[in-house]
């Protein structure tokens, strides 16, 4: 018989291991075998991180010793082994029957009196601190959980808003039994853990009143790409179970950690979730908690303000740094947080190692490419940058799980840990509800399959038996296509790539692809286009936002009103979205240079933005009309350019992303360049201050002929080979009559570019190219290298092949 120690006030090393109950403040990360990963982590943070400002609710934990004492004193192991003798986890019905029998046996066996007394004493001490019958969260914590390669997240049960001693004892007993949930049995079998070597600890922790505020999950790494310098925070109203289980589509916030630590405010993205329901205390009913609708006003507002987002991100950094130091290896973290609606304090309620991105092989770049598009059935948030195919299997109830077959695409409202036995058979997962940190998303990543979550209508649009392709390889929007579409998978080893003298940069316009692109070997971004962000995220003409009340187009006015619901000042919608989009690209490649081209829409393209027709002229040839530099200082657009400047100042100064270099497009004369610089300076973007460099596009013959004079105005040049070719050869490449004459390899174009490179370098300035030509033609890339160009900026998909070509050219082969 095990010896029992009840008194938990002071412990020698031997006595601590024989305690039935321990205060959370007296355990640490070394005590995982004693109180499980979850409780050990809580104790570690209470001891080590509370002095650094990380708040963790206090409580106590039953020990693994207590669990084993319960099993041995009642002679349960032999009976359980007999039940498990016939286990077949591949048979869902068999798994369910075995799990049900094991749990029933555990629940029918009473706790030993001495264990009940130990829990009673610990709970009464908690009540002395917080009041009689204080409300607590009762969570299971297995001794094998939260390992770097196996999370065990959600395998056992959690009970919230538990009141009174009777409720606490009952919840602890249920947690013990939950070591044999169907999902836990299946997960242990998959991970090759012995069912009888693992013990269960129960954490009893003071509830944070997030039912009156908000809660969520955050990761210290980008969950999709593995980009380690971003913290991803999700938030919804009420208790956190809805976010974890994927019952709501939460808000998402992205924060850049390196400049946050320097004291900046680098919120890279804020995405509004629908947050339709919230879990609250059920004060008048028979249940502990219940879900209620969220008001329209709250649904259309962010659950956290900027200061709270940054405070959570700081905690995320502190926790990650601590665990990385303790483990001696970089350890990204998966963290649950809650805001107390009574005190407005932010608490950390769980922290465990992230188990997917941290385990990936880092020296191989694996990319998926859809080779053909088709009809899109539904869209949602993409999880896992992969593509999967199979027949849709719509399952709305856990009792239908036995119908699922290997290779099917699981289509459902949402998943919880009970669904894991069939999730491992799926080729992809599609859900109506959930965000990037929900259960479906976490398990899909762990299984290495794509998931599209938060679709809203997947279970009504998709039908069982339909052949579908699930694509998560096209940015943050995941798409479910009709039929089996062809796709390719490319694996590129990165460890033996050559180093070149010529800088290899990338053209990046879409912020959603930035974290993926930065994994490709590069020297920074040679061209970040504002146009993609303005057209796809902002959608409205800047002057239409400034003059919103005077808009004549009622439909455009209505659409702008919908887009800017959260903004009393419509112009801040433009500034926020542009700053966040460019900030994301700049953060992805930080501290490498990121050259951001100021807006280069033509007047007809500006007119196509919401409200744009009212502010744009009709030009016969917009390509050589009112575009680029000529707009910025013009009284007819100056206010619109001011918004661009405000956004770029926020990126460089507030977010701390001073690696951003600004570039002026279509600048016809040096005098015009000076006027643009003066306009920028009015809005705090002064060339030379805070290291600000300003480049100019070299895309007009005048830029080449007067390169010496432009060198006195600007810090560098970037050749735009598309426009330079059109203007050198005097043709419109969009005209089918002369398009066949468009060729950047034409000798006139090559001589023009050679002259530009020679003149600029003679005047001590940098010159690169961001046009399409070197991405399309290896021989053109060789020509540029031979001319001594400083950098070549390429489309992401052509970087590696062009890199090898440049290396050969530089070596003389």
**Structural contact between residues 721 and 783, judged by C-beta atoms closer than 8 angstroms:** no
Q: How far apart are CA 152 and CA 352, in angstroms?
A: 10
- Given a contact cutoff of 8 angstroms between Cβ atoms, the answer to whether 282 and 247 are in contact is no
Distance CA 685, CA 670 (A): 18
Give Rg (Cα) of the chain: 30
Give the pLDDT confidence of 537-562 residue by residue, as tens digits.
Answer: 999 999 999 999 999 999 999 999 99
Which residue is associated with the tokens 């992805």? 588
Q: What is the pLDDT of residue 362?
A: 64
pLDDT digits (tens, 9 = 90+) for 575-633: 999 999 999 999 999 999 999 999 999 999 999 999 999 999 999 889 999 999 999 99
Phi and psi dihedrals of 602, rounded to 5? -90, 165
Contacts of 124 (CB under 8 A, 6+ apart): 165
pLDDT in tens, 793-812: 998 878 888 888 899 899 87
What value, to the nearest 5°, has the Cα angle with vertex 246 and ends 242 and 250? 75
pLDDT at 519 (0 to 100): 87
Q: Hey, what are 396's tokens? A: 């709305």
Q: How far is CA 720 from CA 180, 420, 597, 749, in A?
A: 64, 52, 11, 11
Give pLDDT < 70 ranges for the chain: 1-15, 144-155, 285-286, 358-362, 813
pLDDT at residue 151 in the model: 43
In this structure, what DSSP letter does residue 211 have?
G
Cα–Cα distance for residue pair 359/432, rounded to 1 Å? 29
Both tokens of residue 286? Answer: 């028979």
Look up residue 53 and give its two tokens. 């400002």
Write the DSSP string, 484-526: ---EEEEEEE-TTPPP-SSEEEEEE--GGGHHHHTTS--S-EE
Rounded Cα distance between 428 and 804, Å, is 35
Query: Is residue 439 annotated as part of the catalytic site, yes or no?
Result: yes
Query: Which of the residues 96, 264, 322, 439 is marked catalytic?
Result: 439
Q: Which 3 state secondary structure label does DSSP give 157?
A: coil
Q: Rounded to a whole number, what is the largest CA-CA distance in the chain?
A: 95
The predicted pLDDT at position 804 comes to 86
127 classed as catalytic = no
Q: What's the pLDDT at 2?
A: 47
**Computed from CA positions of residues 559, 563, 569, 575, in that sequence, does the dihedral angle turn out positive or negative?**
negative
Of 345, 357, 369, the residue nearest 436 (C-alpha): 357
What was the pLDDT predicted at 7? 43
Note the pLDDT of residue 285: 63
Q: What is the pLDDT of residue 286?
A: 63
Contacts of 212 (CB under 8 A, 6+ apart): 280, 340, 341, 342
Cβ proximity of 549 and 571 under 8 Å: no
């Amino acid at each position: 018989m095990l010896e029992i120690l009840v008194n938990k006030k002071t412990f020698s090393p031997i006595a601590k291991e024989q305690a039935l109950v321990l205060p959370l403040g007296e355990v640490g990360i070394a005590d995982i075998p004693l109180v499980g990963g979850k409780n050990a982590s809580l104790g570690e943070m209470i001891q080590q991180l509370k002095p650094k400002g990380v708040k963790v609710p206090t409580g106590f934990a039953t020990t693994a010793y207590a669990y084993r004492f319960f099993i041995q004193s009642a002679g349960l192991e032999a009976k359980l082994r007999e039940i498990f003798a016939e286990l077949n986890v591949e048979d869902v019905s068999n798994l369910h029957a075995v799990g049900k029998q094991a749990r029933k046996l555990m629940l029918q066996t009473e706790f030993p009196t001495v264990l009940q007394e130990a829990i009673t004493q610990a709970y009464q001490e908690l009540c002395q601190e917080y009041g009689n019958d204080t409300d607590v969260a009762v969570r299971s914590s297995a001794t094998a959980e939260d390992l770097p390669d196996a999370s065990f997240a959600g395998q056992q049960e959690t009970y919230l808003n538990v009141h009174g001693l009777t409720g606490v004892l009952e919840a602890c007993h249920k947690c013990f039994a939950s070591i044999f949930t169907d999902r836990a049995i299946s997960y242990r079998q998959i991970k090759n853990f012995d069912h009888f070597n693992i013990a269960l600890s129960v954490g009893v922790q003071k509830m944070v009143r997030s039912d009156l505020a908000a809660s969520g999950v955050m990761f210290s790494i980008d969950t999709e790409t593995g980009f380690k310098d971003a913290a991803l925070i999700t938030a919804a109203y009420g208790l956190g179970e809805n976010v974890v289980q994927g019952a709501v589509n939460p808000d998402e916030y992205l924060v850049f950690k390196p400049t946050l630590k320097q004291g900046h405010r680098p919120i890279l993205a804020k995405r509004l979730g629908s947050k339709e329901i919230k879990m609250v205390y059920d004060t008048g009913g028979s249940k502990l908690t219940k879900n209620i609708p969220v008001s329209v006003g709250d649904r259309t507002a962010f659950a956290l303000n900027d200061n709270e987002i940054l405070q959570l991100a700081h905690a995320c950094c502190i926790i990650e740094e601590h665990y990385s130091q303790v483990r001696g290896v970089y350890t990204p973290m998966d963290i649950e947080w809650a805001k107390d609606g009574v005190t407005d304090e932010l608490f950390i309620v769980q922290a465990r190692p992230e188990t997917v991105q941290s385990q990936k092989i880092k020296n191989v770049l694996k990319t998926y490419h859809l080779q053909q598009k088709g009809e899109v059935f539904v869209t949602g948030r993409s999880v896992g940058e992969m593509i999967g195919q199979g027949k849709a299997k719509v399952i709305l109830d856990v009792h239908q799980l036995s119908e699922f077959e290997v290779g099917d695409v699981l289509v459902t409202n949402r998943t919880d840990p009970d669904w894991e036995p069939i999730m491992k058979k799926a080729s992809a997962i599609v859900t109506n509800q959930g965000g990037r940190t929900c259960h479906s998303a976490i398990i899909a990543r762990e299984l290495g399959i794509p998931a599209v979550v938060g679709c809203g209508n997947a279970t009504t649009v998709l039908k069982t038996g339909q052949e579908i392709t699930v694509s998560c390889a096209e940015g943050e929007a995941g798409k479910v296509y009709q039929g089996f579409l062809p796709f390719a998978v490319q694996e590129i080893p990165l460890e033996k790539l050559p180093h070149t003298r010529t800088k290899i940069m990338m053209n990046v316009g879409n912020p959603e692809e930035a974290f993926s692109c930065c994994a490709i070997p590069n020297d920074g971004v040679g061209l970040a286009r504002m146009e993609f962000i303005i057209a796809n995220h902002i959608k409205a003409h800047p002057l239409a936002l400034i003059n919103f009340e005077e808009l004549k187009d009622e439909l455009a006015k209505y659409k702008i009103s919908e887009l800017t619901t959260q903004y009393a000042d419509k112009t801040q919608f433009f500034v926020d979205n542009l700053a966040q989009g460019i900030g994301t690209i700049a953060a992805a490649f930080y501290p490498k240079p990121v050259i951001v081209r100021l807006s280069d829409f033509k007047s007809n393209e500006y007119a196509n933005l919401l409200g744009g027709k009212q502010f744009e002229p009709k030009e016969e040839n917009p390509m050589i009309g009112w575009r680029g530099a000529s707009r910025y200082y013009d009284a007819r657009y100056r206010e619109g350019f001011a918004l661009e400047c405000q956004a770029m100042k926020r990126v460089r100064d507030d977010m701390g992303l001073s690696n951003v270099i600004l570039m002026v497009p279509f600048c016809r004369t040096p005098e015009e360049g000076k006027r643009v610089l003066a306009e920028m300076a009015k809005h705090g973007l002064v060339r030379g201050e805070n290291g600000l460099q300003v480049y100019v596009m070299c895309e007009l013959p005048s830029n080449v002929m007067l390169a010496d004079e432009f060198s006195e105005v600007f810090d560098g040049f970037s050749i735009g080979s598309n426009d330079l070719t059109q203007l050198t050869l005097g043709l419109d490449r969009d005209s089918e009559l002369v398009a066949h004459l468009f060729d950047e390899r034409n000798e006139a174009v090559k001589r023009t570019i050679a002259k530009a490179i020679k003149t600029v370098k003679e005047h001590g300035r940098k010159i690169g190219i961001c046009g399409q030509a070197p991405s399309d033609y290896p021989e053109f890339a060789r020509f540029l290298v031979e001319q001594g160009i400083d950098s070549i900026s390429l489309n992401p998909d052509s970087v590696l092949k062009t890199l090898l070509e440049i290396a050969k050219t530089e070596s003389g082969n």
